[in-house]
Amino acid sequence: MSPERLLESMRGYFKGKMSAEALANLENESPRTYLKESLEVVDFIVHIEDEIGQEIDITEVGKELLSATFGQLAAEIHRRLVEGGVTESEPETAPA
């Protein structure tokens, strides 16, 4: 899944929870601004996992969750998926 598709999934999570302007600019926003509680972080990551059909180790993207933008977080998740062998052309299905 491309970083752009990951960002769209992230926008889907926040739809109805933030303004249209904030959604449009999500790539430049900090996750810490909108994910203040640990349960919100877990819920957000589970949403992304459900969308892409792959598990995300929160500990591996923790730095980006704390100090990066959503755009950088999407790029890091994408990088880790590619390193894990997931390609753009593969169907995104949950492991059996």
Give the chain's domain count: 1
Query: Within a domain: residue 91?
Result: no
**Closest to 5 measured CA to CA, from 28, 20, 27:** 27
Q: In whole angstroms, what is the distance from residue 54 CA to residue 78 CA?
A: 11
Query: Within a domain: residue 88?
Result: no
Query: Within a domain: residue 96?
Result: no
CATH code of residue 67: 1.10.1200
- What global pTM score does this model have? 0.83
| pLDDT tens string 21-53 | 999 999 999 999 999 999 999 999 999 999 999
Range of 58's domain?
3-83
| pLDDT tens string 56-83 | 998 899 889 999 999 999 999 999 999 8
Give me the amino acid identity at 41: V
Query: Within a domain: residue 56?
Result: yes
- Higher pLDDT: 80 or 91? It is 80
